[in-house]
């Protein structure tokens, strides 16, 4: 008894300590801070799906509650030959999401890019129709009840809002859009179906997106949501244009998801007056100004930009289903290689060493201040 009395204060300190630890675990992650607002997702590389790096893996479960495969579910990987599917990695991806109780998003069914070479050879409408039916039905049925939402059609529009002259449009005409949504709904009637694109917060492409979705619906297709990819810059798009887009899409009864969020801090070759985009900028110091570290002033700009974006997202949280970053940390970002190869970009909330950046704290801080 005496011994218990002696240890009781210590024991209560221990219990209190572990409660505090649990509390701080609850409040110090993106997914917990934004719980009840919208899912906070990340895109996963093949190595991350294979749990290659323990530190990255624990960061992923700590911070995120939604996942998208950055590449491995694209046509060239899952459907490499006409009669051959390879679901090895996509099965692992889905198992990863289930194990960690995450929202699982499928990316992507019908996209003109990253097609398998055999698909590029399809020339006539009958063959393309058969491809679409087999591809969509096989993949969506396989993950029926496991995958929570799909990018059914990706990037079908040009920036002026007209339809992109893709292999699908060229062989089938615009009916391919409604057909894709109908096939996906037939294979899994309950899964959420999205149209996903970049720059569709800009006025002309927003109009194009709205027309596309209206036409698909008029033809009997089910569209539940719109994905705004959100590959953005420090200065643009404006918060006003993003807000107009959230309102316009949601007025159509669509869920709005920000599906591939990142913010480049590097100069863009297209902004340089007289610059020829085809010119080779590789190795140019002017175009790769921060090869070692991001200056504090830009780090702060990035943090402020993320804060204003998330402030807007919170204002419209009732309309937003998910906000997914296009990668876990800066080292993994596609923006290190696009539009110029071999640069050092800083577009995400975690740096290459997986440390939270100022931008991370600015996003977290919004949830500490009373809404």
Residue positions annotated with a catalytic role: 155, 260
Member of 199, 209, 229, 245 binding ligand 9MR (CB under 6 A): 229
Member of 260, 310, 323, 350 binding ligand 9MR (CB under 6 A): 260
* Comparison of 224 and 260: residue with beta carbon closer to ligand 9MR: 260
Residue 114 lies near ligand 9MR (rule: CB under 6 A)? yes
Number of residues binding to ligand 9MR, judged by CB under 6 A? 8
Q: Please, what is the minimum distance in Å from the beta carbon of residue 295 to ligand 9MR? A: 26
Residue 262 lies near ligand 9MR (rule: CB under 6 A)? no
* Comparison of 38 and 198: residue with beta carbon closer to ligand 9MR: 198
Positions in 47-76 near ligand 9MR (CB under 6 A): 70-71
Q: Please, what is the minimum distance in Å from the beta carbon of residue 260 to ligand 9MR? A: 5
User: Which 3-state string (H, E, C) describes the chain?
Assistant: CHHHHHHHHHHHHHHHHHHHHHHHHHHCCHHHHCCCCCEEEEEECHHHHCCCCHHHHHHHHHHCCEEEECCCCCHHHHCCECCECCCHHHHHHHHHHHHCCCEEEECCCECCCCCCHHHHCCCCHHHHHHHHHHHHHHHHHHCCCCCCEEEEEECCECCCCCECCCHHHHHHCCHHHHHHHHHHHHHCCCCEEEEEECCCCCHHHHHHHHHHHHHHHHCCCCCCEEEECCEEECCCCCHHHHHHHHHHHHHCCCEEEEEEEEEECCCCHHHCCCCCCCCCCCCCHHHCCCCCCCCHHHHHHHHHHHHHHHHHHHHCCCCEEEEEECCCCHHHCHHHCCCCCCCCCCCCCECCCCCECHHHHHHHHHHHCCC
Closest residue (Cβ) to ligand 9MR? 334
* Comparison of 75 and 362: residue with beta carbon closer to ligand 9MR: 75
Residue 158 lies near ligand 9MR (rule: CB under 6 A)? no
Binding to ligand 9MR by CB under 6 A, coded x per residue (else -) over 174-213, reads ------------------------x---------------
Residues that bind ligand 9MR (CB under 6 A): 70-71, 113-114, 198, 229, 260, 334
């Amino acid at each position: 008894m005496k011994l218990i009395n002696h240890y009781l204060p210590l024991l209560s300190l221990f219990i209190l300590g572990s409660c505090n630890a649990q509390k701080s675990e609850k409040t110090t992650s993106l997914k917990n801070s934004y719980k009840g607002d919208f899912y906070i997702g990340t895109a996963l590389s093949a190595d991350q799906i294979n749990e290659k790096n323990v530190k990255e893996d624990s960061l992923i479960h700590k911070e995120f509650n939604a996942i998208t495969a950055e590449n491995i579910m694209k046509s060239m990987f899952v459907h490499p030959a006409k009669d051959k599917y390879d679901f090895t990695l996509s099965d692992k991806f889905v198992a990863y999401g289930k194990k960690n109780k995450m929202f699982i998003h499928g990316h992507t069914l019908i996209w003109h890019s990253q097609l398998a070479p055999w698909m590029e050879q399809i020339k006539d409408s009958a063959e393309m129709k058969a491809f679409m039916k087999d591809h969509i039905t096989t993949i969506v049925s396989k993950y029926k009840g496991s995958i929570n939402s799909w990018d059914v059609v990706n990037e079908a529009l040009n920036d002026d809002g007209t339809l992109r002259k893709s292999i699908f449009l060229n062989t089938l005409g615009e009916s391919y859009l409604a057909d894709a949504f109908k096939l996906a709904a037939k294979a899994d009637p309950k899964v959420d179906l999205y149209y996903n694109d970049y720059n569709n917060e800009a006025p002309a492409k927003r109009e194009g997106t709205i027309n596309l979705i209206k036409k698909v619906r008029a033809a009997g297709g089910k569209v539940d949501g719109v994905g705004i990819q959100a590959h953005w810059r420090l200065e643009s798009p404006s918060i006003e244009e993003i807000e107009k887009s959230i309102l316009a899409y949601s007025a159509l009864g669509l869920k709005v998801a920000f599906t591939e969020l990142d913010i480049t801090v590097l100069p863009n070759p297209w902004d340089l007056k007289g610059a020829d985009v085809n010119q080779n900028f590789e190795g140019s110091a002017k175009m790769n100004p921060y090869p070692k570290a991001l200056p504090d002033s830009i780090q702060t700009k990035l943090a402020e930009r993320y804060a204003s974006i998330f402030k807007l997202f919170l204002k419209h949280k009732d309309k937003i289903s998910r906000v997914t970053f296009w990668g876990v940390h800066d080292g993994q970002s596609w923006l290190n290689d696009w539009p110029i190869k071999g640069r050092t970009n800083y577009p995400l909330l975690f740096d290459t060493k997986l440390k939270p950046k100022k931008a991370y704290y600015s996003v977290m801080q919004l949830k500490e201040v009373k809404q």
